């Protein structure tokens, strides 16, 4: 690994006695590292990472006799040195992947393959090495991930249905179903894959399925996940138990679900995409990564993207406070914490995944700010981070409402905290480099989307500026 590096381990904390699995290379954690390497012109490690993880994708994997779908990428892998067969004095390095079968809670890493596709596109764009995309194994790898995500199931919604803990939040946090983070990464990966798939006879069906899904997914999220003061007021006055094709309250949301905190919290200007939507259930928590990546990928419209950034500015003391950025807001407390997290002692209120603050999210905030031509938001957040992050030895996360403490069980020298900060700095110095991560909506999609909007009965009730709101 030292001769030819293929990744970065999650943390290298000299003060910690139990390393758990932080000595592994996590796919999601490597993304900001990979981007930092690309920005520095060090392309080889990223290429190595892409090709080695690709090999892991086709591993035979089982848990208690059950095999997950083909195409799954591992959450992480470890480099292990083993004696070379038949030669006692020599050793070789092998990779040990974890597809969730050893992870705490046995969580499925749904985000890994999606991030892999996003990194692959960034690598091609930044290094100019397009030969990687011509490789059959790479094309097959993209298609396997797509097939797994686009496979038919029982779903009524175009969003991906996943279990709890299938992304950055990899413990029970009540985000099973259709969490926003996965949907934003899914949308982003579909757009990136479409750009990279080589046109060939065999993939016409896949491309058709991909295009259909892009349209349906963006419609669903923009329309049903979006909330701002106006929409909240609409939900507050919802009629329930509507049976019919033209129901306004399609998911039978009971207005009493609107949490008291949200009524106070929603700013006059700004809005965001909610965390999850299920029958009779809206998770109103604000999840940072899902919202930021919806901006970056264009899953949110231009107006919505600006509104998300407006909200981050308006709620600065809640979301950024002493360290950017809260992973979600607000924390689950009391009985809700007991029931939803299963009384998880690591996810106590305002800690870790339960509204802790994660410095790595700085890089996604920066890309979103640059895309919307508002880099000053990111620059301000970087300034906040700089006040203590290096002195504190680059913790994995911070605790408390105002992010005043280093996280109770946070690792120090957490690689993606360092890489996230580096990427933010490098991109702010050269904003045009962010292009490798950004996707814009293409005219074909806009066209299909506007046809769908005009066919939607809900539109007929009239909403001012409906065109401007959705057609970007
Ligand atoms: C924790 C985080 C996860 C991260 C891993 C390695 O499990 O929740 O998002 O990938 O640590 O840093």
Nearest-CA residue for atom 9 of ligand 1:
168
Q: What is the pLDDT of residue 470?
A: 31
Which residues of the chain fall below pLDDT 50? 1, 460-472
Nearest-CA residue for atom 6 of ligand 1:
10
Instruction: Indicate if ligand 1 lies below 6 Å from the C-beta of 111.
Output: no
Q: What is the pLDDT of residue 469?
A: 35
Q: Which residues contact 135 (CB under 8 A, 6 or more apart)?
A: none
Name the residue of 170, 172, 357, 358 to mutate for ligand 1: max ligand atoms within 8 A of Cβ. 170
State which ligand 1 atom lies nearest to the alpha carbon of 168.
Answer: 9
Using CB atoms within 10 Å of the CB of residue 409, give its burial: 0 to 12 exposed, 13 to 18 middle, 19+ buried.
middle
428 within 8 A of 379, measured Cβ to Cβ: yes
State which ligand 1 atom lies nearest to the alpha carbon of 411.
Answer: 12
39 within 8 A of 431, measured Cβ to Cβ: no
Query: What are the structure tokens assigned to 271, written together?
Result: 């809005």
Instruction: Indicate if ligand 1 lies below 6 Å from the C-beta of 25.
Output: no
State which ligand 1 atom lies nearest to the alpha carbon of 22.
Answer: 6
Q: What is the pLDDT of residue 357?
A: 98
Domain boundaries, the chain: 1-109
Q: Which residues contact 254 (CB under 8 A, 6 or more apart)?
A: 238, 240, 280
Nearest-CA residue for atom 12 of ligand 1:
10
């Amino acid at each position: 690994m030292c001769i030819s590096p293929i990744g970065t381990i999650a943390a290298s904390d000299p003060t910690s006695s139990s390393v758990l699995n932080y000595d592994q290379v996590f796919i999601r954690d490597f993304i900001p590292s990979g981007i930092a390497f690309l920005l520095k012109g060090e392309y080889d490690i990223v290429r190595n990472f892409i090709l080695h993880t690709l090999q892991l994708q086709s591993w035979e994997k089982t848990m208690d006799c059950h095999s997950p779908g083909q195409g799954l990428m591992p959450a992480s892998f470890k480099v292990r040195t083993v004696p070379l067969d038949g030669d006692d004095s020599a050793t070789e390095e092998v990779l040990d992947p974890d597809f969730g079968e050893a992870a705490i809670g046995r969580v499925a890493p749904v985000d890994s393959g999606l991030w892999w596709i996003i990194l692959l596109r960034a690598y091609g764009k930044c290094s100019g090495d397009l030969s990687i995309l011509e490789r059959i194994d790479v094309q097959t790898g993209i298609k396997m991930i797509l097939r797994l995500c686009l496979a038919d199931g029982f779903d009524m919604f175009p969003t991906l249905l996943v279990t709890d803990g299938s992304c950055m939040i990899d413990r029970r946090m009540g985000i099973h179903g259709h969490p926003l983070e996965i949907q934003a990464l899914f949308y982003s990966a579909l757009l990136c894959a479409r750009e990279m798939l080589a046109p060939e006879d065999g993939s016409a069906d896949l491309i058709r399925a991909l295009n259909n899904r892009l349209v349906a997914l963006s419609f669903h999220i923009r329309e049903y996940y979006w909330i701002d003061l106006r929409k909240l007021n609409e939900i507050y006055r919802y009629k329930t138990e509507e049976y019919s094709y033209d129901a306004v309250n399609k998911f039978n949301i009971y207005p009493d679900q609107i949490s008291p905190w949200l009524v106070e919290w929603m700013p006059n200007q700004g809005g965001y995409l909610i965390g999850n939507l299920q029958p009779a259930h809206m998770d109103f928590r604000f999840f940072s990564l899902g919202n930021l990546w919806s901006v970056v990928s264009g899953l949110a419209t231009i107006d919505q993207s600006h509104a998300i950034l407006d909200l981050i500015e308006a709620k600065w003391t809640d979301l950024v406070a002493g360290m950017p950025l809260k992973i979600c807001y607000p924390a689950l407390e009391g009985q809700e914490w007991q029931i939803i997290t299963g009384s998880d002692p690591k996810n106590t209120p305002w800690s870790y995944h339960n509204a802790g603050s994660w410095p790595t999210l700085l890089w996604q905030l920066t890309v979103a700010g640059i895309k919307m031509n508002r880099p000053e938001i990111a620059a301000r957040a970087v300034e906040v981070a700089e006040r203590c992050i290096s002195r504190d030895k680059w913790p994995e996360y911070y605790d408390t409402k105002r992010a005043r403490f280093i996280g109770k069980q946070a690792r120090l020298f957490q690689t993606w905290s360092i890489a996230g900060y580096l990427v933010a700095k490098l991109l702010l110095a050269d904003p045009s480099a962010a292009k490798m991560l950004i996707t814009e909506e293409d005219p074909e999609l806009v066209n299909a989307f506007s046809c769908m909007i005009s066919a939607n009965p809900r539109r007929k009730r009239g909403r001012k500026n409906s065109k401007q709101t959705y057609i970007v």
